[in-house]
Structure 1
Amino acid sequence: MEVVVVKDAREAGRLAASAVTALLARTPDAVLGLATGSSPLPLYDELARRSTEEGLDLSRATAFALDEYVGLRRDHPASYRSVIRREFSERVTIDPARVHTPDGLAGDLVASCAAYEDAIRDAGGIDLQILGLGADGHIGFNEPGSSLASRTRIKTLTEQTRRDNARFFSSLSEVPHHVVTQGVGTIMDARHVVLLAGGAAKAQAVHGLVEGPVTAMCVGSVLQFHPHTTVIVDEAAASALLLADYYRQVYDGKPDWQGL
């Protein structure tokens, strides 16, 4: 696991975008895993800028979203299908037909989850998975206590997660109680994971992710077992890291040719 401490969210977005850009230069038909929430937005802003101003080409890429609410209509502005379309696919050169989201309205949710796993596998697996981090350490919607070997499935949201997401709805009562999410095992299959976290509210979760024990109570800590995870955090989110100075030293001395 590599930990990179940056000044702010904009710098985090630029750094993550550089990892995506380098991947696409090597593998134009790369498969991306897309997160929603606030953390990835600076990344999507930078990819949009590079697409418009620098000709970044995603036309051969494929993308899979991490999760979707159960029972929320597809055109609801808070549905993750809408968020991914609005923040990512409409702003870059990717073919919208190659951008996939779990189906939270499927008549048979269990079968739909299995089909989503099959679709990821048939596409060749995720080359680069973007993640955010919940204040309780969750990744995707794999809440505390989730199986660390889980696959795409239905999960019940904690009340804290519902409260955290209520800002995207008119009221807390509108926030669904259930989601479809890629599982922890699904995320761990990605070849490269880039996790973004910012703000003091994420500091303890970042500490648990990077320096705590591997435990289902901080689901993101399982990434300590991943062979290629890059954690990009701002100064506030890094404030509880015991080895923050060491992580800065390591990154500052890293040769440019290594990339992320």
Structure 2
Amino acid sequence: MNVLTFATNEELSAYAADFITDMVRAKPDAVLGLATGETPIGVYEQLVARYREGRVSFRQVKAFNLDEYAGLSQGHTQSYQAYMHKHLFSGIDLPLEQAYIPCGRADDRWGAARDYDRLLDEAGQLDLQLLGIGHNGHIGFNEPGEELHAQTHVVRLKEETRAANSRYFESLAEVPEYAITMGVGPIMKARQLLLIVRGEDKAAVLKKALLGPITTQCPASLLQLHPQLTVLLDEGAAKEL
């Protein structure tokens, strides 16, 4: 585990963008696992800038997103498909047919989960998985529980997760109750993991994840077992380490 702390969000985002850029330049057909939420926005902005500067091309890359809300209409502004297009895909040369996101609009959600696993299997091992962490220790939408799923699955979101995400919606009632998420199997099999955590409000759960017991009640604690885990923090997130 390599833990790095940065004084500013700009420095953190630049390091993460360089990390990803270097990987893609070394392996132009890299398979990347991507994340959403507030945390990676700065990283994606920096990747777009590096592409526009001619420092990296994503034309041969395959990208797999961790998750998607279930039940949002096509084009909903808070879907993760819309998020990825806004913050990354519209600014780089990644062909959209090589950018995969679980189909949250599918009538058969479990069928969509199985389809996503087939795509992951066909692509092979993820070269890099970008991660954040939820306040309850979730990674992707793998919520705390008695057991975790290895494969892509439909999950009922915890109320604390819906409450945390309600800031992106007009009300808590509009936040979907379900999502489709990549399981912990592909995440833990990725060649490298890049965990980014910002904010003092994440300090306690980060300590639990990195230094506490490995338990399904804190899914992020499984990351302790990964041989190539890099953790990027701001000073607030690092406060309890």
TM-score range, shorter chain: over 0.9
Instruction: Report SS of the residue matched to 1:170.
Output: coil
Distance in 1, matches of 2:92 and 2:187, equals 24
Distance in 2, matches of 1:47 and 1:147, equals 36
Deviations 1:173-213 (A, max 9, x none): 10000000011122111111101000000001110111111
Deviations 1:158-185 (A, max 9, x none): 1111111111111111000000001112
Alpha-carbon spacing, 1:212–1:111, altered in 2? closer, same or farther (3 Å)? same
| Alpha-carbon contact 1:72-1:105 (below 8 Å) kept | yes
Distance in 1, matches of 2:20 and 2:109, equals 31
Instruction: Give the aligned residue type for 2:122.
Output: D
Identity of aligned residues (%): 40
Deviations 1:95-152 (A, max 9, x none): 1111110011212221211111110110122111111111111100111116345211
Q: How does 1:103-182 map to 2 (within 5 A)?
A: 103-145=103-145, 147-182=147-182
| Alpha-carbon contact 2:33-2:130 (below 8 Å) kept | yes
Distance in 1, matches of 2:150 and 2:28, equals 30
Instruction: Report SS of the residue matched to 1:176.
Output: coil
Instruction: Give the aligned residue type for 1:13.
Output: S
Distance in 2, matches of 1:147 and 1:79, equals 27
Distance in 2, matches of 1:231 and 1:56, equals 23
| Alpha-carbon contact 2:125-2:186 (below 8 Å) kept | no
Distance in 1, matches of 2:140 and 2:13, equals 19
Instruction: Report SS of the residue matched to 1:162.
Output: helix
Deviations 1:10-58 (A, max 9, x none): 2121111111111111110101111000111111011011011234211
The aligned residue for residue 225 of structure 1 is: 225
State whether structure 2 residue 49 is matched by structure 1 residue 49: yes
| Alpha-carbon contact 1:129-1:192 (below 8 Å) kept | yes
Distance in 1, matches of 2:102 and 2:40, equals 18
Instruction: Give the aligned residue type for 1:27.
Output: K
Scaled by the length of structure 2, the TM-score of the pair is: 0.97
| Alpha-carbon contact 1:8-1:198 (below 8 Å) kept | no
Distance in 2, matches of 1:146 and 1:226, equals 21
Distance in 2, matches of 1:163 and 1:101, equals 23
Instruction: Give the aligned residue type for 1:191.
Output: R
Alpha-carbon spacing, 1:73–1:8, altered in 2? closer, same or farther (3 Å)? same
Distance in 2, matches of 1:150 and 1:24, equals 27
Distance in 2, matches of 1:202 and 1:225, equals 21
Q: How does 1:78-93 map to 2 (within 5 A)?
A: 78-93=78-93
Distance in 1, matches of 2:62 and 2:29, equals 7
The aligned residue for residue 2 of structure 1 is: 2
Distance in 1, matches of 2:99 and 2:128, equals 14
Distance in 2, matches of 1:171 and 1:230, equals 35
Q: Which has the larger displacement, 137-146 or 67-76?
A: 137-146
| Alpha-carbon contact 1:148-1:185 (below 8 Å) kept | no
State whether structure 2 residue 65 is matched by structure 1 residue 65: yes
Q: Which has the larger displacement, 214-223 or 47-56?
A: 47-56
Instruction: Give the aligned residue type for 2:83.
Output: V
What is the root-mean-square deviation in Å for CA atoms of aligned residues?
A: 1.2
Distance in 2, matches of 1:173 and 1:25, equals 44
Report the count of equivalent residues.
241
Distance in 1, matches of 2:104 and 2:186, equals 18
Scaled by the length of structure 1, the TM-score of the pair is: 0.90
Distance in 2, matches of 1:235 and 1:17, equals 19
Q: Could you tell me how far 1:8 is from its partner in structure 2?
A: 2.4
The aligned residue for residue 22 of structure 1 is: 22
